[in-house]
Homo-oligomer: A and B are copies of this chain.
Amino acid sequence: MDKTKQKKLAAAGFRTGDAKDFLGLTDEEAAFVELKLALADFMRDVRVEHGWTQTHVARLIGSSQSRVAKMEAADASVSIDLLVKSLLALGATRKQVGQVISRAA
């Protein structure tokens, strides 16, 4: 597993290296986490491409800078609902969201 992904999975609430994950992380769970990471990355891409700060994005979507940071980090406390709603609020289309999810890691 490459280091970047490992770091992100860790941030998402899964620690690589302890027994539970290697033994118990099912295919669905892995797919779910990667799907969430893809949305989080896309969220950051959209923001950076517009040259926006996290604080500005927070204003646009009616949230706070800290939550935006957690969204981009795919923190365990952020839902896919929030990511999708936020992306749509930032101007992404439903089609784009679907494509981001479809794309293989």
* A103: B residues at CB distance < 8 A: 98
Query: A98 to B101, Cβ gap below 8 A?
Result: yes
The digit string for A2-36, where 1 denotes a CB below 8 A from any CB of B, is: 00000000000000000000000000100110110
- CB of A14, distance to nearest CB on chain B (Å): 15
CA distance A81 to B32 in the complex (A): 9
Which of A43-51, A65-73, A86-94 participates in binding chain B? Answer: A86-94
- Stoichiometry, as copies per complex, reads 2
Can you list 29 pairs linking A and B with CB atoms under 8 Å apart?
A28-B85, A28-B89, A31-B88, A31-B94, A32-B84, A32-B85, A32-B88, A34-B94, A35-B84, A35-B94, A35-B97, A79-B79, A79-B81, A80-B80, A80-B81, A80-B84, A81-B81, A94-B101, A94-B102, A95-B102, A95-B104, A97-B101, A97-B102, A98-B98, A98-B99, A98-B100, A98-B101, A98-B102, A98-B103
